[in-house]
Structure 1
Amino acid sequence: MSIGARLRRWHPRTPPLPQDLADLVRAGDPEWFARELAIAVAPPWWVWTHLLRRFSWVVGIFGRVEVTGSIPEELRRGPLLLAANHIGDFDPFVIAVALHRLGVAPRIMTTGGIISAPVAGALLERTGAIRVERGTELARHAVRVTEVALVHGGHVVAYPEGRVGLAPDFWPERGRTGMARLALGLRVPVIPVSQWGAHEVLQYGNDWGKLRTLLRAVVRRPALRVHVGPPVVFDDLQMGRVGDANRARMRIAAALTRGLRPLRADELDAPAFRDPTRPTTAVAAFPGGIVPDDIP
């Protein structure tokens, strides 16, 4: 076997899969499903926590990471869904560093294309990242892995919008109901993680402009702001009751929008950073960042 083929097949050693979880794996499931289940049930990988502890400063090369808010210790001891607005390809790194400062080693839901990359994708998977194959039948596997991670006390970062937000004014979209259904079904706290600034580090388009914006960020060092708000209240909602999943997703979008307003206080109408490669084909849940007081 060639060196290239070995690199494409290489993965760090995976923890053993408990027998009760092995029963979830069926013939025809992708080969990575069992591996991700085993990682989801295991404690955070020591390499991942070491990187967060010793090398978070690397993210600071590209901007000034500013974190506000907190996560109470009693919540950190149990499972958490951390809902973040998705503003660019660099923001997972900023979120990971910010949450580490607040005592959390996050497992981040990530597109399958990234985790499928040789070596780097394998390492990312081993950190607890959960593969999301959007728009395919394999998407349901991400739900199962996420459920297992949460049942075993994991702290999972997910993007309710399901992609980088494409609203013209950069306010969060209403997103999908997947996270809302998980939260209602498992009764897991949802913590809103609002962020701003990471979109200036890597442009949206996948061309040489990504390198240009990355190098420019080293010089400009934009503010990379993250605010962690209080848990979203779902006490009056129930899984399976008509309309409640939609109410839950709108409450998540409202919490993200409210947390985002102070982070972009000087850019409420439009972002100062212009990215011509970014489409503007979506609609914000709350245009202009204005959230009514009577969200149901």
Structure 2
Amino acid sequence: MNDGERPIAQPSRGLRRGFVAPAAVVRPALRALVRQEWLHAERIPRTGAILAVNHISELDPLSVAHMVYNQGLLPAVLAKAELWKVPVLRRVLQSTRMIPVERSRDGGRSLAAAQAALDEGRVIIVYPEGTVTRDPEGWPMSARSGAVRLALQTGAPLIPVGQWGMQELLPYPGFRLSPFPRKTARVLVGEPVDLDDLRGGPLTAAVLRVGTERMMDAVTELVAQLRGEPAPAWRWDLRTGRREGTA
């Protein structure tokens, strides 16, 4: 199935109701804390998509989900399973049917849940780096292949998204908000990553690696546009603690 053949689905009324109370709290809170600029949000397809976003702050999921929700779409964030252990937060995550990811023993369950959410017409939000960037200058790091695998398995469009500014409101590490002076968080939505030549064949490690590099190149270019400066030639590798390709 290619992108043009995806069926048009609509989330159920029950699912939509699950977003009403959280949205009533989160939207005004974010508006009060930070100026938000959403650039080319109209590029998000109405029939379900996968957003691959760079990760700069623990507030990222709220910020990007807010953008998606304001387009009249329902977001489904892939988030670390530990968040479901927080009592109040667990109820919100359950009512909005977000997708827990067990980092060490997921066994593909999160991707299966994401595919089901796509079939409902929801927008999947993925942070391919797996954690807030550790790059000393805040650039996107090397990434995991799950978003590309999901896009190739489902035919859903893979949309790169760059963001910058939310890390000034809530820097990593730590949970100390810095709302004054008021910050501006900007999100730039790109055009779909071209994966057509990778579709239809086996999902080998090489195929996933090529697709993942394309995805992160696109995300990094969007971040560079927001920052108004060129990105480094190599990406930070969390495993080695240095930029790839450097001595």
Instruction: Please say whether Structure 1 and Structure 2 have the same fold, judged by a TM-score greater than 0.5.
Output: yes
Structure 1 residue 262: Cα displacement = 2.0
1:172–1:146 distance in 2 versus 1, CA, 3 Å: same
Aligned counterparts of 1:154 and 1:186: Cα–Cα separation in 2: 13
Map Cα deviations across residues 63-100 of structure 1 (whole Å, 9 max, x no partner). 11111013347x21x22111111111011111122222
Structure 1 residue 264: Cα displacement = 1.3
Aligned counterparts of 1:286 and 1:110: Cα–Cα separation in 2: 30
Structure 1 residue 170 corresponds to structure 2 residue 133: no
Q: Aligned residue for 2:186?
A: 225
Q: Is the 8 A contact 1:131 1:142 kept in 2?
A: yes
Structure with higher strand content:
2
Q: Aligned residue for 1:264?
A: 227
Identity fraction in percent: 29
1:132–1:63 distance in 2 versus 1, CA, 3 Å: same
Q: Is the 8 A contact 2:68 2:123 kept in 1?
A: no
Q: Aligned residue for 1:94?
A: 63
Structure 1 residue 158: Cα displacement = 0.7
Structure 1 residue 205 corresponds to structure 2 residue 205: no
* Amino acid across the alignment from 1:240: P
Q: Is the 8 A contact 2:18 2:95 kept in 1?
A: no
Q: Is the 8 A contact 1:63 1:220 kept in 2?
A: no
Aligned counterparts of 1:64 and 1:283: Cα–Cα separation in 2: 33
Structure 1 residue 141: Cα displacement = 1.6
For residue 246 of structure 1, give the secondary structure of its aligned residue in structure 2. helix
Structure 1 residue 189: Cα displacement = 0.4
Unaligned runs of 5+ in 2: 1-10, 233-237
Aligned counterparts of 1:57 and 1:266: Cα–Cα separation in 2: 32
1:139–1:202 distance in 2 versus 1, CA, 3 Å: farther
Relative contact order, higher structure (CA 8 A, sep 6+): 2
Unaligned runs of 5+ in 1: 1-40, 270-278, 288-296
Among candidates 70, 76, 90, match of residue 107 of structure 1:
76
Q: Aligned residue for 2:38?
A: 67
Q: Aligned residue for 1:237?
A: 198
Q: Is the 8 A contact 2:41 2:67 kept in 1?
A: no
Among candidates 62, 75, 87, match of residue 118 of structure 1:
87
Q: Is the 8 A contact 1:65 1:223 kept in 2?
A: yes
Q: Aligned residue for 1:190?
A: 158
1:98–1:64 distance in 2 versus 1, CA, 3 Å: same
Among candidates 46, 50, 53, match of residue 84 of structure 1:
53
Bigger-Rg structure (1/2):
1
Structure 1 residue 194: Cα displacement = 0.9
Structure 1 residue 122: Cα displacement = 2.1
Structure 1 residue 120: Cα displacement = 1.6
Q: Aligned residue for 2:111?
A: 143
Q: TM-score, normalised by structure 2?
A: 0.81
Q: Aligned residue for 1:247?
A: 210
* Amino acid across the alignment from 2:118: L
Q: Which moved more, 1:249-258 or 1:169-178?
A: 169-178
Structure 1 residue 232: Cα displacement = 0.9
Q: Aligned residue for 1:161?
A: 129
Map Cα deviations across residues 260-289 of structure 1 (whole Å, 9 max, x no partner). 1121126968xxxxxxxxx996456799xx
Structure 1 residue 244: Cα displacement = 1.6
Count the aligned residue pairs: 228
Aligned counterparts of 1:48 and 1:286: Cα–Cα separation in 2: 44
